[in-house]
Structure 1
Amino acid sequence: MQIEFYKYQGTGNDFVMIDNRQGIFPKDNIQLIAHLCDRRFGIGGDGLILLENDPETDFKMVYYNSDGNQSSMCGNGGRCLVAFAKKLNVIQNSTTFIATDGLHHATIADDGLVSLQMIDVADVKITPDHVFLNTGSPHHVQLVEDLEHYNVKENGASIRYGELYGKQGSNINFVKQVDATTFSLRTYERGVEDETLSCGTGATAAAIAMNALGKTEANSIDLNVEGGKLVVSFDKKDGQFTNVFLKGPAEFVFKGSIEI
């Protein structure tokens, strides 16, 4: 069977996109999904995303990590899916869609920047050496000095598979402050089991964590990721973070078809 796919990237976080409104994609075939995400033998991507029908919103997002397993929310993937939905004429410039962590609102500007509302965050766990919070996916955030030369894959894997997070694991983020409103970020993503050029839920987590730690008083924070720049904004009241938005580019790369 021939499947048509689209390739999108958001600050270097890349995804295989498939329009599954007809329900023909074999969603439970973990090996197939991993193969499609393989950069040498397949299409290549940090994940695969299905756009599906939803009775109450514009569409449903079904996200798989590159290991083939369905996973928690992906912020950059969500932004790319919004751009994909517009390309398919499913939406125009604003949308409401459903994902694994609930309802999301998003807008897409004329310059292609997508602003995606993330879940509210009320529980931010601060320890002496890291912060842990869930922004649709679990995230460990810690400050490091020499971020540019830091071994993200080795150190990230060590924490991800360590005693701290057990079998489920966590995404691991390493952060360095640039100025009062800007931070640099590198992320080790579970399910990819490597550093990615960008992580949307990770950028969201890093921004909130830095505010919670008192490293910044800003409620609009710039994140320099390996693949570009993201902006995270939020409202904060009584330690709760609401109206959380992740903003950045979401770009179509190419389309094609592959036999499965």
Structure 2
Amino acid sequence: MKFYKYQGTGNDFVMIDNRLGEWDDLSNETIQKLCDRRFGIGADGLIKINTAQGVDFEVDYYNSDGSKSFCGNGARCSVAFAHFLRIIEDKTTFSAIDGLHEAEINNGIVKLKMGDVASISKDGDSYVLNTGSPHFIQYVDDVSNYDVYRNGNKIRNSDTYRKDGINVNFVQVISEKELFVRTYERGVEDETYSCGTGVTAAALTFMQNNNQTSVGIKVKGGRLKVYAEKEGEGFRNIWLEGPANQVFEGEINIKSLTF
């Protein structure tokens, strides 16, 4: 299998050009091993770029456990990959599990249009919303020293969220223009260096409370920016912006993976 490795603010992905359908039947077990950091390539997720009618391409995303979802940073890396493959130039429309998306790429910076968010729910002093994937947002005072794994795992596996899972984000307000976000991701079942849908969710809760249309986001793997317009109880015209880079390319013998 020919593969490429991409990362977007430390959120890393195995990328496969599957436009000929050669890898349509990858099993969950194979995806898990390809994403394994000791026995495979190592990644937070695997993405197949497929052909699709009416759009430039399809983003077929899998978490490292083989489950499917939408991934904001994965989608941004997919745009960079599609640009590398010369499927697109600087603008694109593509499909993903949550519907259609627009995106732009300029000098390695990818700006991705997210789906509209109709409403944001309160859960005690925290927030719950869906930005393509479900997210739980909790504000804390010192996120740098916060036990993200233990507390994120506890919320994700609570009675409320155990069945369908939820991504758990811990957010610190750095200033009126910047947040620091750390995320425990379902499907990876660990903290990742960045989560695109998670920083978008965090940004929207902040914008809702502070009447802003943009906010910078610090994550363990770098910086992102979110733009949005308030509409009723939710938001529209939501954009996630940040770098997406190819790290390396290679080949791997699927049969050599140990199970």
TM-score range, shorter chain: over 0.9
Q: Distance in 2 between matches of 1:146 and 1:5?
A: 39
Which of the residues 206, 227, 231 maps onto 1:233? 227
Once the two structures are superposed, what CA deviation does each residue of 1:7-42 show, in whole Å capped at 9, x if it has no partner?
A: 000000000000001101153411100000001110
State the partner residue of 2:139.
143
Q: Distance in 2 between matches of 1:240 and 1:27?
A: 38
Which of the residues 65, 81, 84 maps onto 1:67? 65
- Please give the secondary structure, in 1, of the residue aligned with 2:252: strand
Q: Distance in 1 between matches of 2:178 and 2:121?
A: 22
Q: How far off is 1:210 after superposition?
A: 1.5
- Please give the secondary structure, in 2, of the residue aligned with 1:89: coil
| Residue 112 of structure 1 pairs with residue 108 of structure 2 | yes
Structure 2 runs not aligned, ≥5 long? 255-259
State the partner residue of 2:31.
33
Q: How far off is 1:72 after superposition?
A: 1.6
Q: Distance in 2 between matches of 1:166 and 1:42?
A: 28
Once the two structures are superposed, what CA deviation does each residue of 1:33-69 show, in whole Å capped at 9, x if it has no partner?
A: 0000001110010000000000110000100000122
Which of the residues 247, 250, 259 maps onto 2:244? 250
2:168 and 2:184 in contact (8 A); partners too:
yes
State the partner residue of 2:3.
5
Q: Distance in 2 between matches of 1:174 and 1:94?
A: 33
| Residue 96 of structure 1 pairs with residue 93 of structure 2 | yes
Q: Distance in 1 between matches of 2:136 and 2:11?
A: 19
- Please give the secondary structure, in 1, of the residue aligned with 2:119: coil
- Please give the secondary structure, in 1, of the residue aligned with 2:16: strand
Q: When the two structures are superposed, what TM-score results if normalisation uses the length of structure 1?
A: 0.96
State the partner residue of 2:257.
none
Distance 1:242 1:258, change over 3 A: same
Q: Distance in 1 between matches of 2:123 and 2:36?
A: 37
State the partner residue of 1:17.
15
Q: Distance in 2 between matches of 1:60 and 1:23?
A: 12
Q: Which amino acid is 2:49 matched to?
A: L
State the partner residue of 2:130.
134
2:18 and 2:24 in contact (8 A); partners too:
no
Q: How far off is 1:145 after superposition?
A: 1.2
Task: Say what the alpha-carbon RMSD is for the aligned residues.
Answer: 0.9
Q: Distance in 2 between matches of 1:133 and 1:11?
A: 22
Structure-to-structure mapping, 1:83-232, within 5 angstroms: 83-109=80-106, 111-212=107-208, 214=209, 216-232=210-226
Q: Distance in 1 between matches of 2:83 and 2:25?
A: 23
Q: Distance in 2 between matches of 1:187 and 1:115?
A: 21
Q: Which amino acid is 2:114 matched to?
A: M
Q: How far off is 1:217 after superposition?
A: 2.3
State the partner residue of 1:82.
79
Runs of 4+ with deviation above 4 angstroms? none
Q: How far off is 1:127 after superposition?
A: 3.0
2:216 and 2:225 in contact (8 A); partners too:
yes
Structure 1 runs not aligned, ≥5 long? none
